[in-house]
Amino acid sequence: MLKVGLTGGIGAGKSAVSRLLVSYGAVLIDADKIAREVVEPGTPGLAAVVAAFGPEILTEQGTLDRPKLGSIVFADADRLATLNGIVHPLVGARSAELESAAGPDDVVVHDVPLLTENALAPLYDLVVVVDASAETQLDRLVRLRGMAESEARARMAAQATREQRRAIADLLIDNDGPLEALEPQVRAVWEQLTRRAAEGKR
């Protein structure tokens, strides 16, 4: 099994890369998806978040009001650290569970947005970073996700710098261009990953 960490800044296009890798045969473990699952209604995770932030971060239906919680934590580093301290151990445990179910010859791709910020690179055999300029990230967040520019800039500022991400990359995917320029790069990365997995190298 080859364990790959996949990361990139918000708006860099990491989701597009992970979709392509899955289409080639990767086993994807999506930290964001798991992070949503561990705070669903009735979970110990949600109870812990409510205990830390108060019942006002719930919707009328009793689910987590993500935009409201986001507006609190992305403006306050201490509160963000509190939230991460609750959610990250739960995500780590579930990720390990899913990884253990993969086969010995599989390429297991862990899609981890905050891989750089949380110094998780040593957990993986190699790290793939999806790279895009700040201008590209901002344009995608505002134009494609409908974020206000101020919110987009705040989200970007809360993450590692582009230089910090590039420094931990074993393989770098340049996603400043259109989707058709992305696919050949991801295909080439996949070929390297499958070769590494077959060789059993660490």
**What pLDDT, in 10s, does the model give residues 100-145?**
999 888 999 999 988 999 899 999 999 999 999 999 999 999 998 9
User: Using an 8 Å Cβ cutoff, are 76 and 69 in contact?
Assistant: no
- Calculate mean pLDDT across residues 163-177: 95
Closest to 109 measured CA to CA, from 17, 13, 11, 195: 17
Confidence of residue 170 (pLDDT cuts 50, 70, 90): very high
CATH topology of domain 1-26+106-202: Rossmann fold (3.40.50)
Task: Give the whole-angstrom CA distance, residue 44 versus residue 183.
Answer: 40
Say which residues have a Cβ less than 8 Å from residue 4's Cβ, sequence separation at least 6. 26, 107, 108, 109, 110, 124, 125, 126, 127, 128, 193
What percentage of the chain reaches a pLDDT higher than 90?
A: 81
pLDDT of 114: 87
Residues forming a β-bridge with 58: 64
State pTM to two decimals.
0.83
Look at residues 16, 17, 7 and name the one whose alpha carbon lies nearest to residue 165: 7
Query: What per-residue confidence (pLDDT) applies to 179?
Result: 82
Neighbouring residues of 180: CB distance < 8 A, sequence distance ≥ 6: none
Span 53-67, average pLDDT: 94
Please state the domain extents for the chain.
1-26+106-202, 32-105
- The percent of residues in the chain predicted with pLDDT above 70, rounded, is 99
pLDDT at 167 over 90: yes
- CA atoms of 173 and 12, how far apart (whole Å): 10
* pLDDT confidence tier of residue 199, bands split at 50, 70 and 90: confident
Q: What are phi and psi of 133, to 5 degrees?
A: -70, 160
